[in-house]
Structure 1
Amino acid sequence: MTVPTALEARHLVKDFRGFRATNDVNLQVREGEIHAIIGPNGAGKTTLFNLLSGFLRPTSGEVALFGERIDTLPPHTIVRRGLSRSFQISSVFPSLTVRDNVLVALESPTSLPGQFWTPLSRLETLGPRADQILADVGLDGAQERLAADLSHGEKRQLEIGISLTQDPRVLLLDEPTSGMGSEGIARVIALVRQVARGRTVVLVEHNMSVVSELADRITVLQYGQVLASGRYDEVRRDPRVIEAYLGEEAHA
């Protein structure tokens, strides 16, 4: 049976004042898979993520979500079509509690933000959903802590929880284990596996042990172009990938 395509990039080009950051990138992410995008620094991974999520408009080419073109839409509309993302740099509200960070995200697509006269108690209608999301990402014991007081790994967990508030069908994770020790990495691996149940996940990741544990398929970028794409065991043996990125790690 053919697996439907959840997210697709078609001949994506992005130019910045004479510099071509992505060059004719084609990407197919199958529904229900965990798909990793890897490559050396400067390969175009972040630019590609920004194109997929609507934070950049392509110079040419298209992005489609479940067959519907989305590259002409603003990011908030793309989120409502079923695609959410996290960021490499922390994007939580540090002065709010963990629970309030999730409540604000849950509130955003409703009519509540524009109803400034509405009692704060109205927000509590979203409370059970916020509590469930925090439990799902392992932060149910940290609800009343300020986000500023969280560890680096816990902030990553909160960011993934915030991404889940819009109930995405496709979730993009930008460097989810960046800056973590082995314990934090193991926690995030388990979390990604959990949130991937019933949805599609695309992640940019440098840690190849994380990629090997999580990814069903991999796309390798170099100089803004797709160098190789396929299953981990296939890609890690590709001589072009070994030369460009993996090096001796491929023989480990």
Structure 2
Amino acid sequence: MIALSARGLYKDFRGFRATNDVSLDVEEGEIHAIIGPNGAGKTTLFNLLSGYLKPTRGEVRLYDELISHLSPEEIVRRGLSRSFQISSVFSSLSVLDNVVVALQSRSGLPAQFWRPERVMRQFEPRALELLEQVHLTGLAGRLAADLSHGEKRQLEIALSLTQEPRVLLLDEPTSGMGSEGVARVIRLVREVARGRTVVLVEHNMSVVAELAHRITVLQYGSVLASGAYEDVRRDPRVIEAYLGEEVA
């Protein structure tokens, strides 16, 4: 079954074409990586898939439902959630309260700054489950501002999981991390991918090699190659796109 698909996606910005006839299929249950040199259109494609940008032409479907005309909030309710390359946590809240607020947003209760504490506490058990899933239980009471870069990435994944997504988009989940943090995120992505579909934009090819079942390579806004990692890494066009070196 195809979980997420794009057909003929074009996105123009005042004469500049950021994506050019991009099509891809992401199968249910797979980890699918989108890679490419800087400026290849990866982030634009992610924004089109998640509704933060509307295509100039083309369409996006989630489990064969047309979603490219929907708002990001409506797309989340359909079962697609995402993280961002730039940290999006509430720095002045605790780790636990970040997740509680995200769970409240899904519950249908209107957001209020002075909601009684007992109302918010009903979300704590599920919030703690999610923090355990991303290995942050021991930091539940810490301010998000005090987390390391890698820990903030883990929290962002927990926030994405509050929406119970069938498809999870991760934008550069290992960006700015050392080897220890990268290894931790690889393990975490494998865990959260159980029972759901994951699409990630990733610049670290060792991460792609570890995680991805299939990859799509973008160059100049177009699909250069797509398929199994072992096949794509030997494609002469992909090797050339990566400065003449074989993709490891």
User: Does TM, normalized by the shorter one, top 0.5?
Assistant: yes
Does the 8 Å CA contact 1:112/1:118 hold for their aligned counterparts?
no
Within the candidate set 217, 222, 231, 2:219 is matched to: 222
Q: What is the percent sequence identity of the aligned residues?
A: 75
Question: Any residues of structure 2 matched to 1:41-56 within 5 Å, and which?
Answer: 41-56=38-53
State the shift of 1:115 in Å: 6.1
- Equivalent position amino acid for 1:137 in 2: V
Counterpart position of 2:245 = 248
State the shift of 1:199 in Å: 0.1
Counterpart position of 2:208 = 211
Q: Secondary structure at the match of 2:93?
A: coil
Counterpart position of 1:107 = 104
Q: Deviations over 1:139-184 (max 9, x none)?
A: 0000000000000000000000000001100000000000000000
Q: Secondary structure at the match of 1:23?
A: strand
State the shift of 1:125 in Å: 1.2
CA distance in 1, matches of 2:113, 2:209: 48
Question: Any residues of structure 2 matched to 1:1-252 within 5 Å, and which?
Answer: 4-114=1-111, 118-245=115-242, 247-250=244-247
CA distance in 1, matches of 2:173, 2:185: 7
Unaligned runs of 5+ in 1: none
State the shift of 1:120 in Å: 1.7
TM-score w.r.t. length of structure 1: 0.96
Q: Secondary structure at the match of 2:216?
A: strand
Q: Secondary structure at the match of 2:3?
A: strand
Does the 8 Å CA contact 2:234/2:246 hold for their aligned counterparts?
no
- Equivalent position amino acid for 2:46 in 1: F
CA distance in 2, matches of 1:192, 1:219: 18
TM-score w.r.t. length of structure 2: 0.98
CA distance in 2, matches of 1:157, 1:228: 30
- Equivalent position amino acid for 1:202 in 2: V
Q: Deviations over 1:52-99 (max 9, x none)?
A: 000000000000000000010000110010000000000000000000
Bigger shift: 105-114 or 13-22? 105-114
Q: Please, what is the CA RMSD of the aligned residues?
A: 1.2
Distance verdict in 2 for CA 1:243–1:178, change over 3 Å: same
Distance verdict in 2 for CA 1:107–1:161, change over 3 Å: same
Bigger shift: 114-123 or 13-22? 114-123
State the shift of 1:245 in Å: 1.9
Distance verdict in 2 for CA 1:127–1:235, change over 3 Å: same
Distance verdict in 2 for CA 1:246–1:231, change over 3 Å: farther
CA distance in 2, matches of 1:202, 1:60: 22
What is the aligned residue count? 248
Q: Secondary structure at the match of 1:41?
A: coil
Distance verdict in 2 for CA 1:43–1:117, change over 3 Å: closer
Q: Secondary structure at the match of 1:108?
A: helix
Q: Secondary structure at the match of 1:112?
A: coil
